[in-house]
């Protein structure tokens, strides 16, 4: 598990230190280090989802079972979860999601633009507190604050990892 940017190590370390025991995700390059690390850690159960809204229910179920869970997704997945976010309010569940952004900085794929621009507003409309990270040195502090807000204060929190943090994506020709 090498060659990942330092901020990706910080994401996993915050989750591990914060007692997260389940990591739900749809595979995403921006979360690849965290996914590989969770998969390799015997104390963390990693769950591959077929769609992101399953992860909302998984996080609620983990809480009911006495465990902390996090949902890793890309900004396009937020649109898939809007209806399921009502479960968070109805059951008053704490919730933490870490969202890699698309449709922002130097986006090459026009399909990513609309949801990328709507992600923060969609989360906020559903009662989820949004924290945004744009610089690598902010990752540990902001994610740690979000984790505490979720699991100590019972808040619903999304930490958005800006596309400029992740870097440019380009079409690859073969």
* 81 found inside a domain: yes
* 25 found inside a domain: yes
With residue 16 as reference, give the H or E element that holds it: helix 6-17
* 172 found inside a domain: no
pLDDT tens profile 64-114: 999 999 999 999 999 999 999 999 999 999 999 999 986 576 656 656 656
Domain coverage including residue 154: 6-165
* 158 found inside a domain: yes
For the ranges 29-38, 53-62, 87-96, 114-123, the lowest mean pLDDT is seen at 114-123
How many domains does the chain divide into?
1
| Domain CATH for 102 | 3.40.50.970
pTM for the predicted model, two decimal places:
0.92
What is the per-residue pLDDT for 132?
96
With residue 132 as reference, give the H or E element that holds it: strand 129-133
CB 155 within 8 A of CB 149: yes
* 47 found inside a domain: yes
């Amino acid at each position: 598990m090498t060659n990942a940017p330092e901020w990706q190590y910080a994401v996993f370390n915050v989750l591990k230190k914060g007692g997260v025991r389940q990591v739900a995700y749809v595979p995403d390059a921006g979360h690849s280090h965290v996914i590989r690390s969770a998969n390799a850690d015997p104390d963390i159960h990693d769950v591959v989802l077929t769609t992101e809204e399953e992860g909302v229910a998984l996080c609620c179920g983990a809480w009911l079972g006495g465990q902390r869970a996090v949902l890793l997704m890309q900004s396009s997945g937020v649109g898939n979860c809007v209806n399921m976010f009502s479960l968070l309010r109805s059951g008053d569940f704490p919730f933490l999601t870490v969202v890699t952004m698309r449709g922002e900085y130097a986006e090459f794929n026009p399909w990513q633009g609309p949801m990328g621009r709507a992600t923060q507003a969609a989360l906020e409309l559903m009662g989820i507190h949004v924290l945004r990270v744009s610089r690598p040195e902010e990752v540990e502090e902001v994610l740690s604050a979000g984790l505490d807000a979720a699991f100590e204060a019972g808040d619903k929190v999304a930490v958005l990892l800006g596309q400029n943090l992740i870097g440019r994506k380009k079409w690859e020709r073969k």
